[in-house]
Chains A and B, each alone.
Chain A
Amino acid sequence: MSQVSRADDIEFLKEQAKTVRIGILKMLAEAGSGHTGGSLSAADVATALYFSKMKHNPKDPAWKERDRFILSKGHAAPLLYTVLALSGYFDKSLLKTLRKIGSPLQGHPCSKLLPGVEISTGSLGQGLSIANGIAMGLKMDGMNSRVYCMLGDGETQEGQVWEAAMTAAHYRLDNVCAIIDNNGLQIDGHCCDIMALEPITEKWNAFGWHVIDIDGHDMKAILGALDEAEGIKEKPTMIVARTVKGKGVSFFEGKVQYHGMAPTSEELERALKELE
């Protein structure tokens, strides 16, 4: 059974997203390194999934009927760790151990070490293929669980993403719902300057996906898109979540240098003031 009941309480989810962002910033500041921008940009979608949409049970991470979440953009590990801890998969005190020797909270998620992590990720472009395989297995077993897969926008520069895009459409994996965290930035700069991605919506449409284009920070829109995806048959769904890198902290927003930089203690203090 899902521990978290379906709560359409938008206000609750907005507050929860704030708590998630605070958790991300604190753990990153403690670790002294890690990916701030992309963890914050995807925080609203992940909050909607873990605290409203997904069937899952933190007391039984291997529950057969659970929905699956694959963080293909594994560098947003601080986000995943925070939503897992807040859900109750492990003690919140573990968040302080991020990136430290002996910690199950590796720099990028490791499924062997941490309950709730479906599969290790970190090397970009590989999660969607894994999500497809899980979706095939679930269909073979007649399960109605869904598979959510979060990709970065820059990540879709990897060719394997498009191999997987074809596979999901070819095998009509309507239990797959992918989300692109389209914050428009990658390590070296703006995606449009490094390797242009647009038109994203048209590309996924052309690959046979049902595409929903939303403001990735609008909680109502996120829930609406996730519900819509569930009703789509014979096709996988791609939610293009238009987001802002570093969202929630004014001096991180849209700043490419905070892709892979953790907040200093002074920055953390200022950030918490903005959020709290």
Chain B
Amino acid sequence: MGERIATRDAYGDALLELGKKRKEVVVLDADLSGSTKTAKFAKVFPERFYNIGISEQDLIGTASGLSLTGKLPFASTFAVFETGRAWEQIRQTISYSSLNVKLVATHSGITVAEDGASHQAIEDIALMRVLPNMTVIVPADGIETKQVIEAIADFYGPVYVRLGRSKVPVVMPDDYKFTIGKAYRFHIGKDANIIAAGIMVSVSLDAMEMLKKEGIDAGVINMPTVKPLDNDAVIEAAKASGLIVTAEEHSVIGGLGGAVCEFLAENYPVPVKRIGIKDTFGCSGPSDELMKLYGLTADDIVRTVKQGLKR
């Protein structure tokens, strides 16, 4: 678990590889190609890259039009602008007509860090999850990101992929094979199970080891596809332990925690604790300190699991 790769870097590499394999891949960005890493693709395939300038609504509309001619557009910018500024364009055109447009946003969550709350998307999963026809994927690391990009290119329909700015530990095993809608069970615990997505998967694995030392058998499930949720994995985890903790770098409202709660409440009610941003905005600061400030560390998960078990 030594290597650290930012998921946006893995995206830049995966997109370039995909561009070499598939001529119909076109990429659009809104003046952030250096940060989203689509610049790598742009450099090699300038004729298939469109910089739309600082205009996210037009970015989405243009990508939609390209998809109508049989192209496979990847539209990228920061998560807060892609899902917030252009939400209605995504709803009216991509989601309503179920277009084959891939929305791959970077700089999600509070680990955008120093840029502060204006740039920290903590509601993007909720905004995309509520849209019919939309698939929502939150990769945990660089390995998974690469596989997600390949998988969504083979899948016809709108997809939102949530990537981050900061380097994160590689957690997925070498032989891992991502499938849309399928969770990965690191371990199913008898006392509690943590269902996590994105950078919180590695944090949850740390928490699992800490709990083990204290004799608590907590499992970790990586749930990269928040929509459609892997219901079987959620049920399995709930049946095995009777306590579920969700962990995500997103608001506790409407994201992975919301999705898990909605499903369990109707199908297999067990106590659930949600780790995430507690209905507040982020702020400027170094990533690590923000993770502490907003309660997104392994210590926070350990404490939450113990509280859940005490009830």
> Could you tell me which A residues sit within 8 Å of B by CB distance?
110-112, 118-123, 125-138, 140-141, 159-160, 163-164, 166-167, 170-171
Contact = CB atoms under 8 A, between A and B. Distances in A.
Contact of B71 (A122, A140, A167, A170): A140
Contact of B57 (A111, A129, A170): A129
Given A119-B68, A120-B97, A131-B65, A163 B47 contact: no
Nearest to B98: A112
B70 interface: yes
Interface string B63-92: 111111111010000000000000011001
Given A140-B47, A140-B71, A167-B53, A123 B65 contact: no
Interface residues of B, number: 29
B97 A160 contact: no
B50 interface: yes
Contacts of A131: 65
B92 A133 contact: no
Given A112-B97, A133-B66, A137-B68, A167 B58 contact: yes
A159 B88 CA distance: 13
Given A111-B97, A120-B93, A120-B97, A129 B58 contact: yes
A131 B57 CA distance: 14
B62 A132 contact: yes
A171 B50 contact: yes
Most chain A CB atoms below 10 A, which of B26, B58, B66, B97 = B58
Nearest to B47: A140
B160 to A, nearest CB: 19
Given A163-B55, A164-B61, 8 more contacts: A120-B92, A120-B96, A129-B62, A130-B62, A130-B93, A131-B65, A133-B65, A163-B58
Contact of A134 (B55, B57, B68): B68
A136 B92 contact: no
Nearest to A128: B61
Contacts of B131: none
B52 interface: yes
Nearest to B54: A163
B60 interface: yes
A158 to B, nearest CB: 9
Nearest to A145: B69
B96 to A, nearest CB: 5
Contacts of A141: 69
A132 B57 CA distance: 13
A29 B48 CA distance: 48
A193 B70 CA distance: 43
B71 A137 contact: yes
A206 B221 CA distance: 56
Contacts of B57: 125-126, 129, 159-160, 163
A132 B61 contact: yes
A136 B50 contact: yes
| Residue among A122, A126, A131 having the largest count of chain B Cβ atoms under 10 Å | A126
Contact of A133 (B48, B53, B55, B67): B67
A167 B52 contact: yes
Nearest to B71: A137
B89 A160 contact: yes
Contacts of A128: 61
Closest A-B pairs by Cβ, 7 of them: A133-B65, A129-B61, A137-B69, A163-B58, A163-B55, A133-B62, A134-B65
A137 B62 CA distance: 10
B203 to A, nearest CB: 39
Contacts of B70: 137
A241 B88 CA distance: 28
Contacts of B89: 126, 129, 160
A159 B86 CA distance: 12
A167 B96 CA distance: 24
A267 B69 CA distance: 43
A212 B206 CA distance: 66
A259 B89 CA distance: 24
Contacts of B26: 137, 140
A133 B98 contact: no
Residue from B50, B52, B68, B69 whose CB has the most chain A CB atoms within 10 Å: B69
Contacts of A122: 92
B69 A134 contact: yes
22 contacts: A118-B68, A119-B93, A120-B96, A122-B92, A126-B61, A126-B89, A130-B64, A130-B65, A133-B62, A133-B69, A133-B73, A136-B62, A137-B66, A137-B70, A140-B71, A160-B58, A160-B89, A163-B58, A164-B58, A164-B61, A164-B62, A171-B50
